[in-house]
Amino acid sequence: MELTQLPDDALVMAMQYVDVQDLLALRLVCKRLGGLALHRDVWRHRRLNQDDACVCPVLRLAPCLDTLEAAFPSRGCFLAYTMTSCAFAGMELLLDNSMDAMLAAMALCRQQPLGRLRRLEISFADSNFRKGERALMGALASTFGLEELKIINYTGCSGSTAKVVAHSSVRVASLKRFTFDFEPEAVPFLDCILSVHAATLEEVDFCVYRSVDTSFSAACTSVAPLLACCMSLRKLSSMLIPGLGALGSCKALRFLHLTIHPDKTLVAEVAQFLRSAEHLREVKLTYQPALRSATDVGGGLVLALASSGRSRLEALSVQNDDSSKQHFPLLEPLFGALPSLQHLQRLGMSELTLEERGQVLELISPVTAPALGLLELASDPSGTSCAHAWLHSDVVRATMKRNPLLHVKIMVDFMTAIYCTTKHCSAPCASLRCHEELVVCRRKLKVEDYEDIYLILFSHDPRDGCSQDHRAARCECVHIPRN
C-alpha cells in the first residue's frame, strides 16, 4: 500500500513522529500531505525550544504547540514570538532584563486571544526588571484560563505594578497550581493571585527549599488568611508565616510541607494547627537552620502531630538540614509519636549517622508502626560505609525478619561505596559471592558516577505483589531473605 492510500487519520498519526524539518518539507510534496502536515493533531504534543531548527517557520506555520521554551533576548527574529498565530498550551520563559520582560509581555498578550494557554513558567535571571515589570505582570494577571503558573526569583512588586495587576486581573478563577519564589516586596502580587483564584487553587508552593528569617515572615501577614479561603487547596509548601492556624478551615488539605525557622510564636501557632489537623495525609518538616537538640524551637512539632491520637497521617518526612552532619536530634520525639500514628505508611529521615540508622531499624516493629511499608533513610553522612556490607548487618536482617511487609529505601550518594574491596570494607564484600548485581547497578540504572541512587531492601517473596514500586527510577531492589 502506498503512503497516499492511507486514510487521513492514519497519516496524521504517523506524522506526529516525523521531525519538524521533514514535516515542513511535506508541504512541498502534494496538496493533501501539505494540508495534513499542518493539522493540529500533528503539532499539539510538540515542544519547541528557541535553539531548535526552524523556529521562525514553525511559529509562522504551525497551528499549535504543547510548549514553547525560550530565553530572551532570543537569537533570531523576536517578532516571531510576538506576532505568531501558533497557540501554545504552555510557555517557559527565562528573562534577563527589563527589555526581555517587555518582549515576554508582548508574547503573552499575543497568546491571550488564541485562548489555549494553560501553563506558564517565568524565571527571572536578574533583579533589574522595574521598567518592564508592570507590563509583564499586568499581562500575566489578565491571561484568561491559566491552570498552572510558576514564577521563579521574583524580587519585588512596585506600588504602580500592584495597582495594574489588581485592575487587570481576570475575574474568573482558573488557576489550579501556583509556584511562587519571591521576596517580601512581591506580596501584593501574591495576594492578588490568591484572592482571584481562591475558588480553584489546589496546589500552592512557595519554594521552601531556601531558609527565611522572621522579617520575611512578618511581611506575609496577609497570605495565610487568603490561603484559608482556598477551599479546594490540597497541597501547600510554605515557610512559616503568621496565621497558618487558619488552615484548619481547608478540609481538603492533604499534603503540607513546612520550612521551620526558630520563631516561637509562629511555631506555637503551627503546633496548635497540627494537633487538630486530622485531615492531613502527608507532612514534611524541613528545619532551616538545623536543630541541635529536640528542645530547640520546633522540636516538638512531630509530637504535636500525634498528640490527638486521631491522626490519619500516612506519610511523614523530617529533614534536618545539618551541614555539619553530626547527628539527628529528633529520634526520641519521632519514635515517641510513632505509636500514635497508626496509619503511617511511609517515614523518611535525613542526615542519619550509621549508628542512628541502626537505632531507627531497631525501633521499627509491627507494634510501633503497624502500617509502615516504606522507611526512607539518607546515606551515611560520613560517606565511608559500604552499602553492601550494611545490608548484611545483623540489625538489617533482624529488622526485615521482624517486619515482613517493610521496604527500606536508602539513598547511596556518589561518595558512598556500593560494593567495595577488602581494603575499604569488612568481610561481606570479600567473602560472600552475593549481590554482585550491585557492582554494575549504576550502569544498569543508566546514572552517572556523580548521581545518587537508591537501594530498596525487601524481604517478601519477589513474586508477591505489594504496594511499593519496585521499578522506580534510579532504584535497585535487593531481596533480603528472612531465614
- Structural domains of the chain sorted by starting position, each given as residue range(s) with its CATH number in brackets: 1-42 (1.20.1280)
> Which tens digit of pLDDT belongs to each residue from 189-204?
899 999 999 999 999 9
> Which tens digit of pLDDT belongs to each residue from 270-302?
999 999 999 999 999 999 888 888 888 889 999
Whole-angstrom distance, CA of residue 57 vs CA of residue 199: 40
Which grid cell is 78?
523576536
Which grid cell is 69?
521554551
Q: Is 243 left (phi over 0), alpha (psi -120 to 50) or beta?
A: left
First-to-last C-alpha distance (Å) of the chain: 62
Helix/strand/coil for 460: coil
Dihedral of CA atoms 471, 473, 479, 482 in degrees, nearest 10, equals -90
Could you tell me the pLDDT band of residue 382, with boundaries at 50, 70 and 90?
A: low
Could you tell me the pLDDT band of residue 130, with boundaries at 50, 70 and 90?
A: low
> Which tens digit of pLDDT belongs to each residue from 37-96?
999 999 999 999 988 878 999 999 999 999 999 887 665 667 888 899 999 999 999 988
Instruction: Name the helix (H) or strand (E) containing 347.
Output: strand 346-349
Helix/strand/coil for 383: coil
Which grid cell is 447?
546514572
Which grid cell is 106?
508582548
Whole-angstrom distance, CA of residue 48 vs CA of residue 69: 6
Which grid cell is 473?
527510577
| Cβ neighbours of residue 131 closer than 8 Å, sequence gap 6 or more | 98, 99, 101, 102
Instruction: Give the residue among 123, 19, 133, 18 at the shortest CA–CA distance from 71.
Output: 123
**What average pLDDT does range 363-382 have in this prediction?**
85
- What's the confidence (pLDDT) of residue 73? 64
pLDDT at 309 over 90: no
Could you tell me the pLDDT band of residue 266, with boundaries at 50, 70 and 90?
A: very high
Whole-angstrom distance, CA of residue 231 vs CA of residue 198: 7
